[in-house]
Amino acid sequence: MTEGSHGRALRFAIVGAGMSGILAAIKLGEAGYRDFAIYEKADRLGGTWRENTYPGIACDVPSHLYSYSFEPNPDFSHIYSPGREIQAYFEGVARRYGVNERIRFGTEITRCERHDGRWRLETARGAHDEVDVVIAATGVLHHPNLPTIAGLDTFAGASFHSARWDHHVSLDGRRVGIIGTGSTAVQMVSALVDRVAKLTLFQRTAQWIAPQENPPYDAEQRALFRSDPAALRELRDQMSRVFAESFSNAVVDATSPQMQTLADICRDNLETNVRDPVLREKLRPSYRAACKRLIISPDFYAAIQKPNAELVTDAIERVEPRGVRTGDGRLHPLDVLVLATGFRADRFMRPMQVTGRNGARLDEAWAKRPVAYLSISIPDFPNLFMLNGPNGPVGNFSLIEVAELQMAYILELVAHIRDGRCRAISPTAAATAAFDAARVEAAKNTVWITGCRSWYLDDRGIPAVWPWTFDRFREEMAEPRLGAYERAR
């Protein structure tokens, strides 16, 4: 029975056909809802994995963990598989579950307004839809952070952000500069160093690197996973446990022994694998390991020590037509300049203009910073739910596991509407404020607040991500506490 209290089937709009939008569609279908569409601004699904195609891209969560629990993939090639395999995985799942037919490609939702108890959506081309429930599956790191470096637009060679890779630009035998030293840049350095004539890495802040190996699964292992799904499930469960114990739970307790172990691993990697003491000191961060998102790479140090690689730590003064000029007056001549400068992590479903109950505007509600109750919903915005929204566990867990738990929780809330127990549901302002206060307090125990700059931190320097363990997240997602919600009849 999927009819709403008003006697007709509930209509849903899912915004975004990335990992969580595909999940939402599958789970709505399984729950018996039939009336839903996915709006996708691009002409292909995949979100992050569609947009990020830079050389070396892979996911730093093990592939068997970074896949839907209900759709294991015995054929992943590596522990950390390359981006194109992950994209192919999502495309395959979407095909198998009939999700493609639900997607309106090339259709960006620009407005979402509450009218007479429903959500009125407007697309960039002026088309409209009216739905009972909106699921914003719009991703986290998808608005490129473009640096404001003087002269950037005067560069005579090719220049682009890492998430807007221009595959027409040839790299082989050319002089390539990369600005940034996050996970993206590190993967790129290893992938490019043997292809280019010269690779220059402009480092503003050094990074701790954990030397995680990435062996392929051989044919025998993959055959075993295919023939014995239980073995694959067991592997996934084991990965989940190890990931939680050694990393996820460690970073939320800066004093934990596991945190110390991680720090030791990173320090040993630096001491052991960087031979030149001057380079070693340039690569040595001045803050604690995992304060910024920990980078994993088995071969970054080897790559940056190759004769055609150079690590530049002098600040960038400006970009000139021929290359990058640093503060020491040196010009670094380049043919290609890549901006691996990260993303604006506070955007979420924006720039969509969202207007909730009584004219409440999302831009105003989030004027200081994005806040959401349990990362899923916002007071005054009834029947609008987010997957991987603000303040959630985005930094240290498999976002797929996060989205699955969130979607199950959202379905429990939606069941109240479907069963006629209410017409609209949204968290109370008090519950949201209490959650936020507890989150800010708990953030003081995390390693993210121990003295570094990172995309985890909000405008006050407080980590904007889930500061508790994954077990706690699971417990919270197990069942909505109805006292935290307003239910309008």
Q: In the complex, which residues of this chain contact ligand NAP (CB under 6 A)?
A: 58-60, 141, 147, 149, 162, 179-185, 187, 204-205, 293, 316, 340-343, 453, 455
When the beta carbons of 181 and 190 are compared against ligand NAP, the nearer one is: 181
CB 319, min distance to ligand NAP, A: 11
CB 96, min distance to ligand NAP, A: 25
When the beta carbons of 98 and 327 are compared against ligand NAP, the nearer one is: 327
- 342 near 456, Cβ under 8 Å? no
Alpha carbon separation from 44 to 105, 154, 388 (Å, rounded): 7, 32, 20
Identify the burial level of 279 via C-beta atoms within 10 angstroms of its C-beta, where 0-12 means exposed, 13-18 middle and 19 or more buried.
middle
When the beta carbons of 143 and 357 are compared against ligand NAP, the nearer one is: 143
Which residue is it, tokens 């709009």? 13
CB 144, min distance to ligand NAP, A: 9
When the beta carbons of 69 and 205 are compared against ligand NAP, the nearer one is: 205
When the beta carbons of 4 and 151 are compared against ligand NAP, the nearer one is: 151
CB 164, min distance to ligand NAP, A: 12
CB 398, min distance to ligand NAP, A: 11
Residue 32's nearest CA partner among 360, 387, 331, 418 is: 418
When the beta carbons of 343 and 373 are compared against ligand NAP, the nearer one is: 343
Residue nearest to ligand NAP (CB): 182
When the beta carbons of 112 and 252 are compared against ligand NAP, the nearer one is: 252
CB 395, min distance to ligand NAP, A: 7
When the beta carbons of 139 and 379 are compared against ligand NAP, the nearer one is: 139
Give the integer Cα–Cα distance in Å for 211 and 485: 45
Alpha carbon separation from 102 to 21, 136, 341, 414 (Å, rounded): 11, 15, 34, 20
Handedness of CA 357, 359, 360, 361 (dihedral sign): positive
CB 149, min distance to ligand NAP, A: 6
What is the SS3 assignment for 297?
A: coil
CB 141, min distance to ligand NAP, A: 5
Amino acid identity, position 199: L
CB 232, min distance to ligand NAP, A: 21
Residue 47's nearest CA partner among 79, 90, 81, 80 is: 90
Phi, psi of 75 (to 5 degrees): -100, 10
Q: Tokens standing for 97?
A: 């579950």
> Which own/partner contact pairs does 82-85 have at CB distance under 8 Å and 24+ positions apart?
82/57, 82/58, 83/49, 83/52, 83/53, 83/57, 83/58, 83/59, 84/53
End-to-end CA distance of the chain: 19
When the beta carbons of 105 and 287 are compared against ligand NAP, the nearer one is: 287
